[in-house]
Amino acid sequence: MRPDIHPNYAPIKATCSCGNVIETSSTLGKDILIEVCSSCHPFYTGKQ
C-alpha cells in the first residue's frame, strides 16, 4: 500500500436503540447511533 493516502481508523462506539453498544473501528472518527443490531433484529432473534 502507498503511504499517506488511506484514511485513519479510529475506535468508535455504535449504540443501538435497544441499548446494545458495539465497539468497532471506522474512518468516521465519531460515535454513531443505529436503529437495529444483531441483538434486536428479528432475523437474529427469531421473533417476528
Q: What CATH number is associated with residue 1? A: 4.10.80.400
pLDDT at residue 23, as a whole number: 97
Structural domain includes residue 32? yes
pLDDT at residue 3, as a whole number: 83
pLDDT at residue 15, as a whole number: 98
Structural domain includes residue 2? yes
pLDDT at residue 41, as a whole number: 87
Structural domain includes residue 5? yes
Q: How many domains does the chain have?
A: 1
Structural domain includes residue 18? yes
Structural domain includes residue 12? yes
Going across the sheet that includes 10-16, the strands are: 21-26, 10-16, 32-34
pLDDT at residue 44, as a whole number: 79
Question: Which tens digits make up the pLDDT trace of 6-45?
Answer: 899 999 999 999 999 999 999 999 999 999 998 988 887 8
Residue 8: give the domain boundaries: 1-40
pLDDT at residue 47, as a whole number: 78
- Could you tell me the pTM of the whole model? 0.75
Look up residue 19 and give its three cell numbers: 441499548
